[in-house]
């Protein structure tokens, strides 16, 4: 009987829709690792594509039901038409929900990759600070050389807060959704600890270099005064020597 055959097709399609909903939409997902998240994105993509491929079957069932209704007695119309309408609505809802969830997970995955990118950029900057701190640990030379080291450190420290703000916002977005929360918290704690330690060390190094500059300037000033004094004494002694003055005849300091 054609009616039985059509109802069987409708029932099989309903069963497939129910299974897909249970498998991809009603099951609780936990994403504790990037691999789990990536796998979920790929699964949802396959499910979405599979659902779209079922559109051909839904169209065939729709055509079959409509052709049967066109020829069958009115008494058989209503029930079949209602079942077909329910099927089409359920199918369209499934496709929409699968597509929506896939897009959401795609955005979550992109958010995770973006977070890693910002963390990588900031850690590279922190690496530069570490190298600069080591380079300025024992600066040799006078006030000018020390001042150049201080300037290069201060230029490096004038780093915009944008990346760090982005890291905070992206991490908050992901952890609020319970996604990769343990891993993200671990990465953020490590990054923030390192950031704070290097910031504090940089501030200490800046103060130390400023004090070194001041000491070097005072030393330079003292040396300059000594050199000027020596030049005067040298001039006096040269004059005494030229006049063949005996050491006992000149002031104590000249002797």
Query: 180 in the Ramachandran plot: left (φ > 0), alpha (ψ -120 to 50) or beta?
Result: left
Cβ-based burial of 193 (10 A; exposed 0-12, middle 13-18, buried ≥19): exposed
| Total domains present in the chain | 1
- Residue 9 in any domain: the answer is yes
The domain containing residue 117 runs over which residues? 1-209
Closest CA to 109 of 18, 211, 38: 38
Residue 98 belongs to a domain = yes
- The label of the residue with tokens 């990588």 reads 120
Burial of 232 (0-12, 13-18, 19+ CB in 10 A): exposed
Is 6 a domain residue?
Answer: yes
- The two counts, helices (H) then strands (E), for the chain are 7, 0
Asked whether residue 234 is domain-assigned, the answer is: no
* Alpha-carbon span 161 to 165, nearest angstrom: 6
CATH number, domain with residue 134 = 1.20.58.60
Q: Is residue 127 part of a domain?
A: yes
Residue 215 lies in a domain: no
Domain presence at residue 192: yes
Cβ-contact 204, 197 below 8 angstroms: no
Q: Mind listing the pLDDT tens digit of every residue in the chain (255 residues)?
A: 678 888 899 999 999 999 999 999 887 777 889 999 999 999 999 999 999 999 999 999 999 999 988 887 776 678 888 999 999 999 999 999 999 999 999 999 999 999 999 999 999 999 999 999 999 988 887 888 899 999 999 999 999 889 999 999 999 999 988 889 999 999 999 999 999 999 999 999 999 999 988 888 888 888 889 998 898 888 888 887 787 766 666 666 555
Q: Is residue 223 part of a domain?
A: no
């Amino acid at each position: 009987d054609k009616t039985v055959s059509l109802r069987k097709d409708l029932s099989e399609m309903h069963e497939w829709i129910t299974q897909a909903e249970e498998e991809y939409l009603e099951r609780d997902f936990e994403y504790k690792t990037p691999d789990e998240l990536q796998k979920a994105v790929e699964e949802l993509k396959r499910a979405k594509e599979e659902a779209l491929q079922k559109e051909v079957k839904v169209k065939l069932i729709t055509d079959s039901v409509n052709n049967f209704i066109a020829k069958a007695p009115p008494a058989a119309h209503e029930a079949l038409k209602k079942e077909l309408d329910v099927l089409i609505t359920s199918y369209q809802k499934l496709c929409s929900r699968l597509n929506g969830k896939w897009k959401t997970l795609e955005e979550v995955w992109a958010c995770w990759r973006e977070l890693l990118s910002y963390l990588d950029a900031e850690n590279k900057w922190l690496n530069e600070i570490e190298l600069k701190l080591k380079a300025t640990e024992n600066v040799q030379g006078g006030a000018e050389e020390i001042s150049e080291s201080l300037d290069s450190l201060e230029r490096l420290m004038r780093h915009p807060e944008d990346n760090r703000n982005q890291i905070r916002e992206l991490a908050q977005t992901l952890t609020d959704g319970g996604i990769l929360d343990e891993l993200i918290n671990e990465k953020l704690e490590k990054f923030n600890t390192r950031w704070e330690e290097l910031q504090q060390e940089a501030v200490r190094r800046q103060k130390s270099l400023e004090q070194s500059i001041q000491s070097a300037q005072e030393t330079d000033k003292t040396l300059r005064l000594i050199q000027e004094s020596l030049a005067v004494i040298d001039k006096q002694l040269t004059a005494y020597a030229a006049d063949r003055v005996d050491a006992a005849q000149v002031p104590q300091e000249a002797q």
